[in-house]
């Protein structure tokens, strides 16, 4: 299978330790097998893999785009989450890259949006290299992204995805008709996570792009 990535400086990062936490400035690389306290860990091969989750760097972009292309193909540009990024882009401070050694194997982006009058984030895409699926990498990326959103004071995260998978992170379906996305979406796949009390209840209307400065 093709490999994506190259050498990357190791800045502040998060190692997977059962629950997501912020790592030291000089992150210790750990074994996924010993570190993951998640159901996915039972499917790991009996080998050690060094995994680091850190903020996305500008140099990651080409490898991350190749992951997106492999996972979603050219049709990805018509997806709702991509439409919301048009003209503004995702927030690199709230987006993360997973590496095994120096190889980029996963990514999650978060994009500032307005959910009616409530400022929030649109999470996605969440991408893991197919060669590394089933090892808890997606879950680690999700936990780090949610933690960062809460630390930054965001009240609401939206996404379009499989409800059974994202339910483990606290996401629930958005009530039908409460929020409108700029593209067609199966309402059963339109999900939300409130990071403050009743944030979803207050969010009514159109979901639209929001610049990082709040405009």
Q: Strand 118-128 vs strand 156-160: parallel, antiparallel, or unpaired?
A: parallel
- Between CA 183 and CA 166 the distance in angstroms is 21
What per-residue confidence (pLDDT) applies to 5? Answer: 33
Q: At CA 163, angle to CA 114 and CA 64, rounded to 5?
A: 65
pLDDT at 45 over 90: no
pLDDT at 137 over 60: yes
Average pLDDT, the chain: 78
pLDDT at 2 over 60: no
**pTM higher than 0.85, yes or no?**
no
| pLDDT, average across residues 78-90 | 73
| pLDDT, average across residues 171-196 | 94
Q: Which band of pLDDT confidence, cut at 50, 70 and 90, is reported for residue 180? A: very high
Q: What are the structural domains, with CATH classification, of the chain?
A: 13-209 (3.40.630.30)
| pLDDT, average across residues 138-147 | 98
| pLDDT, average across residues 59-85 | 78
What per-residue confidence (pLDDT) applies to 72? Answer: 77
Highest mean pLDDT among 10-19, 70-79, 81-90, 127-136: 127-136
Rounded-to-10 torsion of CA 106, 11, 103, 138: -20
């Amino acid at each position: 299978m093709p490999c994506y990535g190259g050498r990357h400086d190791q800045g502040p990062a998060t190692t997977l330790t059962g629950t997501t936490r912020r790592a030291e400035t000089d992150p210790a690389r750990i074994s996924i097998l010993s570190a993951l306290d998640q159901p996915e860990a039972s499917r790991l091969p009996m080998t050690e893999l060094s995994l680091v989750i850190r903020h996305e760097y500008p140099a990651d972009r080409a490898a991350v785009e190749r992951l997106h292309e492999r996972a979603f193909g050219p049709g990805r540009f018509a997806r709702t989450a991509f439409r919301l990024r048009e003209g503004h882009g995702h927030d690199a401070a709230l987006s993360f890259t997973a590496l095994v050694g120096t190889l980029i194997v996963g990514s999650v982006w978060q994009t500032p949006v307005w959910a009616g009058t409530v400022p929030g984030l649109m999470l996605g895409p969440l991408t893991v290299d197919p060669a590394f699926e089933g090892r808890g990498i997606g879950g680690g990326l999700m936990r780090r992204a949610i933690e960062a959103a809460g630390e930054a004071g965001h009240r609401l995260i939206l996404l379009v995805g499989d409800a059974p998978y994202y339910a483990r992170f606290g996401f629930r379906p958005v009530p039908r008709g409460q929020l409108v996305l700029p593209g067609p979406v199966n309402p059963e796949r339109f999900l939300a996570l409130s990071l403050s009390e009743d944030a979803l209840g207050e969010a009514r209307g159109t979901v639209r792009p929001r610049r990082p400065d709040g405009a």
